[in-house]
């Protein structure tokens, strides 16, 4: 393993960072203050992102993406992650890789328009009664002839209000396993506007202002079986095949924000004068910076190594769990310390620190909580010993 970036990777990092600084940062204050991303602003930035080839760059070249390898994709995510979430996620969309499971005319109806930025998707798994325990989901799809009839509700569904269609995970049966009966899950593609499918306003979240979460309600929503993504009863396999690396995506966006927070804190420590000297000359402040930089680097190495291993085909579930765990917990620490170094000013919305600090909170929860990641890591250690 070597640790230097290729010429292409360096260029991709530079051009993404430049786009984020020029096109996203100037609108952060508005989105944070109003809690909303204006549709006109969204469309304007989205157009620029498409022109710059940044939109859907995570997707393979054969479907119109940039064809980045995982490591390069993660470097690009790190740069996007520096900005307000609503801005980078909505305007510089990265369609879910799960759409690569589209077959036949699903490709033309869902996959390709998503890559072109004409349609966007959301993913619906979580339910009020099924968070970390996804197999406990209650949303059911009952087969009736050539149709499925769906009933149930989902919540915390990110950007469902923006989405044109949903990738829905619903139980279509049960299987008997060593640990008792478990739901068999199927993935479906469901268009907004399908009768019996409603998108309701979700909750107000402390993290990621302007980026909504919604409640999805299904009441006898009838869809033809051609809307199944992958195979019936194999929804988890589809998800595992395509969504594994989203934990690295979370880790990478955390690295970007932590870098920004550390940068602000370092500059402040060099500029701010108290007791006749720069506060960075006080060891109480300078050692904080040292610890922040060290934690950031550790998280970065874990994340980039896991991404590199994805490309080598040698990544383990544990590698990705470690990266996600470390990067999200590191961001919480770095954001908190950056505020401490700034003192009162760090809490004011004039600086991006208070929102980086708020936004950091959700990262330890979504895409698998820190506890789920620790469970994965510890099981990989203990399972071979029969414990």
Partner 1 sequence: MKRILVAIKRVVDYNVRIRVKPDGSGVITDGVKMSINPFDEIALEEALRLKEKGIVEEVLAVSIGTADCQQQLRTALAMGADRAILVQTDAVIEPLDAARIFRALCERETPLLAILGKQAIDDDCSQTGQMLAALWGRPQATFASKVEINGDVARVTREVDAGLETIEVDLPAVITTDLRLNEPRYVKLPDIMKAKKKPLDTLDPGALGVTPVERLKPVKFEPPPVRAKGVMVKDTQELIDALRRKGLA
Task: Give me the residues that bind partner 1 (CB under 8 A), please.
Answer: 7-8, 10-12, 14-16, 18-19, 51-54, 57, 61, 66-68, 76
* Minimum distance of partner 1 from residue 16's CB (angstroms): 8
Nearer to partner 1, 68 or 157 (CB): 68
Both tokens assigned to 90: 């909505």
- DSSP secondary structure code for residue 107 in this structure: I
Classify burial at 75, counting beta carbons within 10 Å of its beta carbon; exposed 0-12, middle 13-18, buried 19 or more: buried
Are 272 and 278 in contact by the 8 Å Cβ rule? The answer is yes
Nearer to partner 1, 193 or 276 (CB): 276
Residue 7 designated active-site: no
Could you tell me which residues come within 8 angstroms of residue 303 by beta carbon, excluding any fewer than 6 positions away?
74, 248, 251, 252, 255, 323, 326, 327
* Minimum distance of partner 1 from residue 80's CB (angstroms): 12
Ramachandran angles phi, psi of 130, nearest 5°: -140, 90
Question: Catalytic residue among 127, 259, 295, 367, which?
Answer: 367
Strands 121-124 and 165-177: parallel
* Minimum distance of partner 1 from residue 59's CB (angstroms): 11
Are 106 and 189 in contact by the 8 Å Cβ rule? The answer is yes
Nearer to partner 1, 154 or 260 (CB): 260
Nearer to partner 1, 56 or 221 (CB): 56
CA dist 100 and 123 (Å) reads 14
* Minimum distance of partner 1 from residue 263's CB (angstroms): 12
Nearer to partner 1, 52 or 365 (CB): 52
CA dist 322 and 319 (Å) reads 5
Going 113 to 25 to 73 to 360, the CA torsion angle's sign is: negative
* Minimum distance of partner 1 from residue 111's CB (angstroms): 18
The catalytic site residues sit at 367
């Amino acid at each position: 393993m070597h640790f230097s970036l290729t010429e292409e990777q360096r260029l991709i990092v530079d051009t993404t960072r430049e786009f984020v600084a020029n096109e996203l940062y100037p609108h952060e204050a508005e989105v944070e203050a109003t809690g909303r991303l204006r549709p006109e602003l969204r469309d304007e930035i989205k157009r620029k992102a498409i022109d710059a080839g940044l939109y859907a760059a995570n997707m393979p070249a054969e479907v119109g993406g940039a064809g980045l390898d995982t490591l390069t994709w993660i470097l690009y995510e790190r740069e996007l992650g520096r900005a307000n979430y609503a801005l980078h996620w909505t305007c510089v969309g990265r369609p879910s890789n799960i759409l690569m499971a589209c077959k036949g005319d699903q490709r033309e109806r869902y996959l390709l328009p998503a890559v072109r930025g004409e349609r966007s998707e959301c993913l619906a798994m979580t339910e009020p009664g099924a968070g970390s325990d996804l197999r406990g989901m209650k949303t059911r799809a009952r087969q009736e002839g050539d149709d499925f009839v769906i009933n149930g509700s989902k919540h915390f569904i990110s950007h469902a209000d923006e989405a044109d269609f949903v990738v829905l995970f619903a139980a279509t049966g049960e299987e008997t396993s060593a640990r008792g009966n478990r739901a068999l899950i199927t993935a479906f593609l469901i268009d907004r506007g399908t009768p019996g499918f409603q998108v309701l306003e979700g909750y107000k979240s402390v993290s990621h202002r302007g980026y909504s979460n919604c409640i999805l309600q299904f009441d006898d929503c009838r869809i033809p079986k051609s809307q199944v993504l992958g195979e019936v009863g194999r929804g988890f396999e589809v998800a595992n095949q395509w969504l594994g690396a989203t934990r690295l995506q979370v880790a990478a966006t955390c690295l970007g924000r932590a870098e920004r927070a550390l940068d602000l804190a370092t500059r402040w420590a060099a500029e701010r004068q108290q007791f006749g000297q720069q506060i960075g000359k006080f060891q109480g402040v300078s050692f904080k910076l040292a610890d922040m930089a060290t934690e950031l680097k550790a998280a970065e190495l874990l994340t980039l190594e896991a991404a590199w291993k994805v490309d080598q085909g040698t990544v383990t579930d544990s590698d990705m769990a470690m990266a996600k765990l470390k990067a999200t917990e590191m961001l919480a620490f770095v954001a908190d310390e950056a505020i401490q170094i700034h003192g009162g000013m760090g809490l004011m919305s004039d600086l991006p620190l208070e929102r980086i600090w708020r936004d950091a909170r959700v990262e330890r929860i979504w895409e698998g909580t820190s506890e789920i990641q620790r469970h994965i890591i510890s099981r990989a250690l203990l399972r071979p010993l029969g414990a």
